[in-house]
Structure 1
Amino acid sequence: MGDHPAAGPARGGPRCALRWRKRRWCCDQASCPRQTFTEQVPQIPARSRLTLRLRQAAGAAVGDGGRTVIQSARDHGLSWPVVSAAFTEHARRVLPAQPAPVAVLGIDEVRRGRPRWVLEEATGTWTTAVDRWHTGFVDLSGDQGLLGQVEGRTIAAVTGWLLQRGTSWRERVGFVAIDMCTIFKSAIRSALPHATLVVDHFHVVQLANQALTEVRRRLTVQVRGRRGRKGNREWELRNRLTRSAARMHGAQLDPMVDDLQALPQRLGAPILAAWNAKEDLLDLLALARTRPDRTVIADRLFRFYDRCAASGLPELERLATTIETWWPEILAFLRTGITNAGSEGTNRVIKTTARDAYGFRNPENQRLRTRCATTRRGRGHLNPA
């Protein structure tokens, strides 16, 4: 007989260690392949020094409790490889092999580490071995969270993941929310031709603010011969210019307009025109979720186009061209109010998980960790605190 300790968490209080004196049995049959064996129970299989309950608790602490592998290993008195294997087993048990059908799908990319290149000896060219971009697919109409991730930000990567789902799964997708990325647009048109594309309004506003900033910087260099700095009123108003006028108090809005009008004509008038064009676009986007009449939409859209054309600024003309190119997708946002905020929130969780783990070397482990982290709410393991 021998002593085999089997550690396991107590029902309450400190951790305890269970010592079990196993009996070793011998078979007197010459044809027996084992000849000798020891006792075992379901909680402690053969050649195991840990209870299954301890392994499950350590894996669940990582997958459901938001703990890192090293934190769970320290709390349960285990080693890093044991907890990592326990988490992998836990993740494969609680995560579905295939996601359930979704009505609204969100697609967005997130950066992961640095790219790695390899030299092809046959052709003598460098090819990407590890892409720094990962594309994620998020359930925006349910609580499934992150449905999956693929490496790369290409049409083949997106269509490949979608085509792996069944035909019935793809037919259930009615809307797809994306940012203003032509790669995702082409992939959706190829794999989900029946789905309605929706552009997230956050990126439209970001594009308008970027155009306004480019106008201000270009004119400052032309008029002052240098970049803006403290003492230049247009530079001091740079943050206030990118804020929405609807969220500003009159005590801030009126002085800003007066200061822009007081600047030299070559500098203040174009910046004010760019700011008005940006506000016209925000007024157009504000019609979302209000069931707007088509005449109201057409009137505000014409006002934005007319402002951009009358300004004569190349930045606004480029902005108007972009809005015209993506107008069907923007109109879908005005009518449905669907945004890609769920995908952006998932990306934040992905980055937070990567920072907590001090990075991942194995992309498969990262996908398991992020999927568990983004599905905690749907599985009922999100800590409200």
Structure 2
Amino acid sequence: MLWALKSVVIDRMSIARVAAALAASWHTVNDAVLTAGRQLLIEDPTRFDGVKVIGVDEHCWRHTGKGSHYVTVVIDLTPVRAGIGPARLLDMVPGRSKAVFKTWLDAQTQGFREGIEVVAMDGFSGFKTATSEELPEAVAVMDPFHVVALAGDALDQARQRVQRETTGHRGRSGDPLYGARRTLRTGADLLTDPQDRKLTAVFAADEHVEVEASWRIYQKIVAAYRCPSKPMGKQILTEVIHSLRRGIPVKLVELKKLGRTLNRRAADILAYFDRPGTSNGPTEAVECRCRHSTAYADVWIMPTFSGCPW
């Protein structure tokens, strides 16, 4: 039974492959894997002990069929922060909303809730609100990946808008902005000489000044997270957030939108620098394993954790 469970979860074998190796039926192996999963995970009375840092994220469990396609994934990041082991999957709950996460937190023991010190999350406000209401003493930390992604999206949108306004069409091969789309998202400290020359040529055009302004903000945010000194990185990002509060030209609609988001979540974003290592990266890694289970193991984890019929 344990070999079958390990083969599916760790070795990424399908239920069919495991069944063939054991000369057993698919349903027999699937039932055995579910039973082992329940014994080791759900029925383990100690799996919530010592949890101080959790990560929460949504995951697209399936793309077809009726009902919710998403689940809320809750991960124990305590071992990662302490440097003693990998992240652990705590639970998966159907749906993605404030109510889903709030209900899950409310169902846990008072001792568990009081022990949570940090919650790592993306930019979804529902997770933030649920955390504030159910874990008032915990610190919310917005994951660096998602902050950089927001800035990158603003840069892409500015490039696409300027492309349409200056050429009258979407990006095509041979268009300077379209040709620089990937280079624009490359960290300034990683640019090669040809890439640097390409950007210099793009920014030399007056009509591209709005793209350059968005690019500089993006690069400052990336530099803040890459800064070897956390206090200095925090100062850099604080200055960027403050610079986006007011005085942004009307044409820079992408930066104005980014500024509203960053200022609204400033405390959560800057909290990362006071708690280095608190990232939702391990949460994303566990979700990748969940995607494997969806594709190859006929969704065995989901029934184990939530009792869903699919």
TM-score, length basis structure 2: 0.86
Report the counterpart of residue 270 of structure 1 in structure 2.
210
Say whether 1:109 aligns with 2:58.
Answer: yes
Q: Is the 8 A contact 2:92 2:306 kept in 1?
A: yes
Query: Which moved further from structure 2: 290-299 or 166-175?
Result: 290-299
Q: Which amino acid aligns with 1:138?
A: I
Query: Which moved further from structure 2: 226-235 or 274-283?
Result: 274-283
Structure with larger RCO (C-alpha < 8 A, sep 6+): 2
Mapping of 1:1-385 within 5 angstroms? Answer: 57-58=3-4, 61-62=7-8, 65-95=11-41, 96-97=44-45, 98-114=47-63, 130-142=67-79, 143=86, 145-253=88-196, 255-263=197-205, 265-266=206-207, 268-287=208-227, 290-292=229-231, 296-297=235-236, 300-301=239-240, 304-305=243-244, 309=248, 312-337=251-276, 338-357=278-297, 359-360=298-299, 363-365=302-304
Q: Which amino acid aligns with 1:137?
A: V
Distance 1:298 1:201 in 2: 11
Query: Which moved further from structure 2: 158-167 or 188-197?
Result: 158-167
* Change beyond 3 A, Cα 1:351–1:213: same
* Change beyond 3 A, Cα 1:294–1:356: closer
Q: How far off is 1:65 after superposition?
A: 4.8
Q: How far off is 1:192 after superposition?
A: 0.7
* Change beyond 3 A, Cα 1:192–1:242: same
Distance 1:285 1:295 in 2: 8
Q: Is the 8 A contact 1:277 1:308 kept in 2?
A: no
Secondary structure in 1 matching 2:73: strand
Q: How far off is 1:58 after superposition?
A: 4.4
* Change beyond 3 A, Cα 1:322–1:308: farther
Q: Is the 8 A contact 1:199 1:333 kept in 2?
A: yes
Q: Which amino acid aligns with 2:105?
A: L
Q: Which amino acid aligns with 2:201?
A: D
Distance 2:210 2:233 in 1: 31
Q: How far off is 1:93 after superposition?
A: 2.5
Structure 1, unmatched stretches of 5+, are 1-54, 118-129, 369-385
* Change beyond 3 A, Cα 1:155–1:115: farther
Report the counterpart of residue 83 of structure 2 in structure 1.
none
Give a deviation string over 1:201-240, Cα, whole Å, max 9, x none: 1111111111111111111111111112111111100010
Q: Which amino acid aligns with 1:271?
A: V
Distance 2:126 2:94 in 1: 14
Distance 2:296 2:58 in 1: 20
Q: Is the 8 A contact 2:245 2:260 kept in 1?
A: no
Secondary structure in 1 matching 2:59: strand
* Change beyond 3 A, Cα 1:144–1:364: same
Report the counterpart of residue 379 of structure 1 in structure 2.
none
Distance 1:295 1:179 in 2: 18
Q: Which amino acid aligns with 2:174?
A: G
Distance 1:212 1:104 in 2: 32
Q: Is the 8 A contact 1:111 1:132 kept in 2?
A: yes
> Larger helix proportion, structure 1 or 2?
2
Which has the greater radius of gyration?
1
Q: Which amino acid aligns with 1:107?
A: V
Runs of 4+ more than 6 Å apart: none
Give a deviation string over 1:261-320, Cα, whole Å, max 9, x none: 343x22x22211211121122233334x62415994477436843897258411111111
> Larger strand proportion, structure 1 or 2?
1
Q: Which amino acid aligns with 1:73?
A: A
Q: How far off is 1:106 after superposition?
A: 0.2
Structure 2, unmatched stretches of 5+, are 80-85
Q: Which amino acid aligns with 2:75?
A: V
Q: How far off is 1:331 after superposition?
A: 0.9
Secondary structure in 1 matching 2:169: coil
Distance 2:145 2:6 in 1: 36
